[in-house]
Chain A
Amino acid sequence: MNKKKGRKSILEGTGFLLMITIALFIVMYVIGCLLFADKGFAKPQVFINLLISNAGLIVIAAGMTVIMITGGIDISVGSVVAVVCMMLAWMMERKDVGAIPATLIVLGFGLVFGLFQGFLVSYLKIQPFIVTLAGMFFARGLTAMISQDMISIKNEMFLSWAKYKIVIPLFGRVNRRGEVMYPYIYPSVVIAFLVLVIIFLMLKYTKFGRSLYAVGGNEQSALMMGLNVRRTKLYAYVLNGLLASLGGFLFCLNTCAGFVEQAKGLEMDAISSAVIGGTLLTGGVGNVFGSLFGVLIKGTIETFITFQGTLSSWWVRIAIAALLAFFIILQSIFASLKEKRK
């Protein structure tokens, strides 16, 4: 209604990118349903499993979106997930810490980690990439320092969180024995969606959310408008650190173990999800729901490869890199078109 023309033209390109993403996801899913119809790709549970196995990534991608809106990047998240899982496993199994205090400790760790990285980025003005690259290696090394061996979690309370099935009384299917089977989700999915909605509302309706866009769009203008650019960036990194550790916690609910090689390359999945979802690398533009679709596309590719059975897992990486290249090039074309129009 009261959308100004100028604003609309900026949104045009990115809105178009988001539409491509959603269309791509739907097309891929339909192709999957047709190709693997005999293996039950179309079952609602398959779709829900997509959410279950990627709950952690959804939260991490939301954090990454926030960082990328400010024009930064965080490649330490994969390692943070590894160290969070390891800390949880180590505290609960080796030190007999309860599940609740252990969870709070790791969330605190994420907060402090984000605070430190944010300080280096916003107050010392070091390139975010360098800071988080150091953070990535630091966290991964820390994981190895805690334990070199894999630790499985056997804490009853933690396992009860992980295995608590929430049944959805919809889309019931009759199985071979004649019982009606309803699809179910785990609490991790609920948490992930809660986070998604909170971040969405925060970005859209709070002062902090709007200043994130302002800082990412043009730092100089944001500064002249009287926004505290440094503090905004710092808070963005703190929030991202917290979300990364929360994502790690959700990830741990899925795997119930901690080991050094865990979640390697997850940062890449998060960044590519955000980019595929229409978040601009240059900052100032982004949407968490776009990132959700980015995650879902990645999940669909993975499901494809599991259902196909003979392709090896590194095809996921290659496919994602190809998609990422495609979307990055699209973005760059849009950017140059916009420049020309000016």
Chain B
Amino acid sequence: MKDKSLVRRITGHRLFMPLVCLAIVLLANLLRQPDFFKITVKDGTLYGYVIDVINRGSELVILAVGMTLVVSSSAGTDISVGAIMAVAAAICCFILSGGQVSVNEYANPYVLGVVIALVLGAICGAWNGFLVAKLRIQPMVATLILFTAGRGIAQLITNGQITYIRVPEYKVLGGSISGLPLPVPFFVSLAVVILAYILLKRTSLGLYIEAVGINPKASRLVGIKSSLIIFLTYAFCGLCAGIAGLVASSRIYSADANNVGLNMELDAILAVALGGNSLGGGKFFLMGSVIGAYTIQALTTTLYAMGVSADQIPVYKAIVVVIIVSLQSEELRKWFKKKFATKKVVESEVA
């Protein structure tokens, strides 16, 4: 009996499913390419597929943190994060280049560009939050506005060109510093996760968000300002998208309005779903989303390593999404339970 309960406790743990998914992806890699886990050291920095996953997954982790809160509080998803990334990258590069197409030194202080980009990201998020929380528009439709217009705005900022910032320091945020064992984006994502964790767990904010997600009306009646909480989660999600946009832009030391954060919204939603969070809102598990994000990045890296082209990757991801959300579906569970229950009855009758 005790044994069973231990197994139950492990399988019932909220991080069990996300970790299993990650393990499956990694195991598949281990069987296919044994050198997947090989890590080499160059200039005190680690290199290898696994490090690459950790590195490339950083933006996704940052987005997933914001997306988790949005999903939890409003039972909806923010599909504009990819476009907000592009906007943030565009404004940062625009300020740093002073409107030039390609510059070799900053036209304005670096901090100014970063701060304005983050503020703009938060403003974009706040606009979404205003539509969802105040005007009560379905989250998906409200964020659809920026999803469409975002890249257009980014194009407008960069004047339709790709703005290059050819300054070595600009690449630091998305690159690596010699002496640091892991790339910088990892530390950025770590900082975001820790900050969010402290904000949510050390204050009652996390509890409020869950309460609003489970029942906004009841939360309002017990004195939580539901609309303010929802608004804040969207603004925070926009801020996260802004940070992710800066990292992505730093990687390519430019602002490419068409390609920064392309298709990232699906990955972020997928990360949240993979992390064991219900897309119907309510309780959330931040760590689950983080693991989900790395799982997806591992999947992407694996597909690239297998020689699947970037255009075709969405097919596999879409299949994974459908499987995951189907498994989460209450209806399917009920159906399985029914099947299982009748089987049990039949068995007991036979006995």
Contacts and interface: CB of A to CB of B under 8 A. Distances in A.
B99 interface: no
B155 A137 contact: no
Contacts of B162: none
B149 A130 contact: no
Q: Is the interface of A mostly helix, strand, loop or mixed?
A: helix
B152 A318 contact: yes
B152 A138 contact: no
Contacts of A324: 144-145, 148
Interface string B287-313: 000000000000000000000010111
B142 interface: yes
B148 A321 contact: yes
Contacts of B350: none
B196 interface: no
B155 A314 contact: yes
Contacts of B77: 129-130
A19 B269 CA distance: 38
Contacts of B315: 137-138, 141-142, 145
Interface of A: 73, 120, 123-127, 129-131, 133-138, 140-145, 148, 260, 265, 268, 271-272, 275, 281-282, 312, 314-315, 317-318, 320-322, 324-325, 328-329, 332, 335-336
Contacts of A321: 145-146, 148-149, 152
B314 A281 contact: no
B137 A281 contact: yes
Given A137-B314, A137-B318, A268-B148, 10 more contacts: A120-B326, A125-B331, A130-B325, A131-B322, A134-B319, A135-B318, A137-B315, A141-B316, A144-B309, A260-B311
Among B137, B152, B156: residue with most chain A CB under 10 A: B152
A329 B135 contact: yes
B164 interface: no
B314 A328 contact: no
A133 B266 contact: yes
A324 B269 CA distance: 24
B271 interface: no
A142 B263 CA distance: 15
Contacts of A318: 149, 152-153, 156
A73 B153 CA distance: 25
B315 to A, nearest CB: 3
A134 B149 contact: no
A202 B231 CA distance: 41
B136 A141 contact: no
B325 A145 contact: no
Contacts of A314: 151-152, 155-156, 160
A144 B138 contact: no
Top 7 closest pairs, chain A to chain B, by CB: A144-B311, A141-B315, A321-B149, A137-B314, A138-B318, A141-B314, A314-B152
Given A137-B263, A314-B151, A329-B135, A126 B145 contact: no
A281 B138 contact: yes
A124 B152 contact: no
A127 B279 contact: yes
Contact of A120 (B131, B314, B322): B322
Contacts of B135: 328-329, 332
B108 interface: no
20 contacts: A124-B329, A130-B269, A130-B325, A133-B79, A133-B269, A137-B266, A140-B311, A140-B314, A142-B315, A145-B315, A271-B144, A317-B151, A318-B149, A324-B145, A325-B145, A328-B142, A329-B131, A332-B137, A335-B136, A336-B136
Contacts of A120: 322, 325-326
Contacts of A136: 318
Nearest to B315: A141
Among A129, A134, A321: residue with most chain B CB under 10 A: A134
A315 B152 contact: yes
Contacts of A134: 266, 318-319, 321-322, 325
A335 B138 CA distance: 13
B147 A268 contact: yes
B339 to A, nearest CB: 15
B317 interface: yes
A148 B156 CA distance: 29
B155 A129 contact: no
A328 B149 contact: no
Contacts of A133: 79, 266, 269, 321
Nearest to A133: B266
A93 B147 CA distance: 35
Given A124-B331, A320-B148, A73 B321 contact: no
B349 interface: no
A328 B145 contact: yes
A71 to B, nearest CB: 10
A125 B329 contact: yes
Contacts of B313: 141
Among B147, B269, B315, B331: residue with most chain A CB under 10 A: B315
Contact of B140 (A129, A142, A322, A325): A129
B140 A317 contact: no
A127 B151 CA distance: 26
B139 to A, nearest CB: 9
A265 B316 CA distance: 21
A247 B149 CA distance: 24
